[in-house]
Structure 1
Amino acid sequence: MADRGTDGARPVTIAYIAESAGVSVPTVSKVINGKSGVSADTRARVEELVNRYGYRKPAGANRNNTVELVFRELESMWAVEVIRGVERVARRHGVGVLVSKFGLHDSTPATWDDTVSRRPNCVLSVAQLSEAEREQLRAKGIPFVVFDPTVELPDDVPFVGATNWSGGRAATRHLVELGHRRIAMISGPETVLCCCARMDGYRSALQSAGLPLDPELVVHTGLTREDGRAAAGALLSLPEPPTAIFTANDLQALGVYRAARDAGLRIPEDLSVVGFDDLPVVAWVEPPLTTVHQPLTEMAVAATEMALALGRGEDAPQARLEIGTTLTVRASTAPPKN
């Protein structure tokens, strides 16, 4: 590896020193900031590299006492629950919160330059963080955590998610135990990790009950009310429609409610519906929605604590965390009529 500290080609970063020493960025940060928790041999190796490369902490590196929360989509009730959890932790630690939105097609090195220039203590990125974005943050020594990732991440990327598979299985098993045999699944895009896991849980519950997976009863679509309404309309128009529908999120379930009304069906007398997320609003619809509770606020609390620990140069006690989901039974499910 070239000695960048002597050729002046590019500035030396914490990430470069960590790579050279074969340790993590938080470990290098501990050494530079004189913190404990590093073995004598590792500390000596890092200090030797720091001196060899002439590394200097960037001016003002520790002045911006904030966590930056990055969304890809902000206009949703789901986002409110995440922000609530982040703010709860930030307030307790006396840290500011900055909320940013980078659309799926807006995220470029230039947009992330703005985040880097603000020098937050850490970044909490919702749903995704590309390899290029991760490298851009690492190059400036800014630690990050991914919240509820939508794709598989490398082992060295910290994240907080939910037990989506067991949630999908619990929802479907509830419908099976009520006596339903034609159970449809309105899933999300096949490229979204959490939707795939919920779908796998649905498939597992059917298999355990000895029920076939009927491809006619599975729809992959977007995660909005409109998508749920359209998908449910198609399912309810089948010659032999389902008696129950499980959806990948609550918004789709609200769309199913509308499709049921369009078809002159009553919930749960004619059609049982189960959602996923347990957004506050679904307890107030009529009838109140049975749904899988995804602990969004608790997940956000854990992710923020993890991100702030990394920002302090500490190793997170658990860098890949899945928080449990639970089924909340309300009035939208009942045994089938026949």
Structure 2
Amino acid sequence: MTATEEPFDADAMPGRPLTITQLAELAGVSTATVSKVVNGRSEVAPETRALVEGLIRRHGYRRQRRRVSPAPLVEVVFHALDGDYPIEIVKGVDQVARQHNLAVVISDRPDREPAGQGWIDGVLSRRPTGVIGVFFGLTDDQREHLVTRDIPIVLLDPSGDPGPGFPSVGAGNWSGGLSATRHLLDLGHRRIAIITGPDWALPSRARLDGYRTALDLAGVSADPDLIGSGGFLIEGGRAQAHRLLRLPDPPTAIFACNDGQATGVYRAAHELGLRIPGELSVVGFDDLPPMEWMNPPLTTVRQPLTEMAAAATGMLMKLAQGEPLSQSRVELGTELIIRGSTAPPAR
């Protein structure tokens, strides 16, 4: 700035987004530094990144006329890469991505990772056509990172309320919990236990609500001792099953809120010398492919993961092409698949 130039005053132009040069002047940094922040480069000090991001949130960012083309990628970000659940989702994403000549990139986001760093930096550096976030929510900072780079995101099987403006695809968790419990009631069970997922997870809460509703409609009181959390983990299901089956009045049936926990219940029953379904009926949730090969094959609620992923990817493609969505929240139905793990109670 020469002696005759006056300092730039952003407040003198309310409502007008700023250029990289103007953002740099306000932040007191170089245009190269602002460009690195805007383009998701990692070699920027956290304090500087936070300052520039704050200015973008306050004033907006006016992009150059020549827009940087996104990479021909769909990024699928999982909360964890364990078991068969991610495989079924990737199948659905790939079905739609291939129709648009896009490759699929897979990454995960550890639950305790600081907001705005780590996984988000990797996504921004790859500049994908869009992102599908599986079983987690976004902080305001993470959302801002994606919005300011024109990277659309669709949440799949979100763990919480996506909030306004966030497209999402889920399943009928409440109705699935209702149908699983109603099936056991129809067989004659009254001591029905449930092993839920994490308390903070919306799908877990919805399945528990469906369980409680089914009991209430049948005139059966929900016993707090028969409700426990297994964290959607095999070991969690095993540990809770051991606790439940050692109660003075143990359950005759267990509804595990995912197939992993149901696998843990099978292990606990074997360790305690109990026959399924002769002495214990078990219902899972998901209907992952290995479940029909369990001994006995698992009765479970089918969550259409592949179809959900395909629907989410279709929504993402519309957003990437600038097309409006007919609806921002999609819920696909669940279905009870009855196999050999459930039978009338022996007592």
* TM-score interval (norm. to shorter): 0.7 to 0.9
Aligned 8 A contact 1:185 1:219 in 2: yes
Shift of 1:108: 4.1
Structure 1 position 3 matched with structure 2 position 10 = no
Whether 2:140 is the aligned partner of 1:113: answer no
Is residue 69 of structure 1 aligned with residue 76 of structure 2? yes
* Shift in Å, 1:54: 5.9
Q: Please point out which of 131, 134, 143 is paired with 2:140.
A: 131
Alignment of 1:220-235 (within 5 A): 220-235=229-244
Matched letter for residue 121 of structure 1: T
- When residues 54 and 214 of structure 1 are mapped into structure 2, their CA distance, relative to the original with a 3 A threshold, is closer
The residue that corresponds to 1:37 in the other structure is none
Q: Deviations over 1:45-64 (max 9, x none)?
A: xxxxxxxx8642455x2241
Q: Summarize the alignment of residues 210-289 of structure 1 with structure 2, pairs less than 5 Å apart.
A: 210-289=219-298
Unaligned runs of 5+ in 1: 12-52
- Does structure 1 retain, via aligned residues, the 8 Å contact 2:194–2:227? yes
2-structure distance, mates of 1:223, 1:202? 16
Q: Deviations over 1:33-84 (max 9, x none)?
A: xxxxxxxxxxxxxxxxxxxx8642455x224121111112012210110111
Per-residue deviation, 1:222: 1.5
3-state SS of 2:23 partner: coil
- 8 Å Cα contact 1:168/1:198 also seen in 2: yes
- Cα deviation, residue 102, structure 1: 2.0
- What is the aligned partner in structure 2 of residue 300 from structure 1? 309
Displacement of 1:92 in angstroms is 1.7
Q: Does 1:325 align with 2:334?
A: yes
Q: Give the structure-2-normalised TM-score.
A: 0.82
Seq. identity, %? 49
Q: Which amino acid aligns with 1:190?
A: D
Deviation at 1:176, TM superposition (A): 0.2
RMSD of the TM alignment (CA)? 1.8
Q: Which moved more, 1:122-131 or 1:238-247?
A: 122-131
CA contact (8 A) 2:230 2:261 kept: no
| 1:4–1:10 Cα contact (<8 Å) kept | no
**Structure 1 position 315 matched with structure 2 position 328:** no
Instruction: Assess if the C-alpha contact under 8 Å between 1:67 and 1:308 holds in 2.
Output: no
CA distance in 2, matches of 1:293, 1:309: 27
**Partner Cα separation in structure 1 for residue 275 and residue 157 of structure 2:** 34
Unaligned runs of 5+ in 2: 1-13, 25-60
Size of the aligned set, in residue pairs, is 297
User: Taking structure 1 as the reference length, what is the TM-score of the superposition?
Assistant: 0.84
Alpha-carbon shift at residue 100 of structure 1 (Å) = 1.5
Q: Counterpart of 1:65 in 2: which secondary structure?
A: strand
| Cα distance, 1:238–1:117 mapped onto 2, change above 3 Å | same
Deviations 1:262-290 (A, max 9, x none): 11110001000000000100100100000
Q: Aligned AA for 1:78?
A: Y
Q: 1:144 aligns with which of 147, 150, 153?
A: 153
Residue 191 of structure 2 is matched in structure 1 by: 182
Q: For 2:72, give the aligned amino acid.
A: N
**CA–CA distance in 1 between the matches of 2:291 and 2:62?**
57
| Amino acid in the other structure paired with 2:196 | S
**2:17, 2:62 within 8 Å by CA — same for their partners in 1?**
no
- Secondary structure, counterpart of 2:159 in structure 1: coil
In structure 1, what is the Cα distance between the partners aligned to 2:253 and 2:234? 17
**Cα–Cα, structure 1 residues 94 and 105, in superposed 2: closer, same or farther, change >3 Å?**
same
Residue 16 of structure 2 aligns with an amino acid whose one-letter code is: D
Give runs of aligned pairs for residues 148-227 of structure 1, distance below 5 A. Answer: 148-227=157-236
1:94 maps to what in 2? 101
Structure 1 Cα separation of the partners of residues 128 and 249 of structure 2: 55
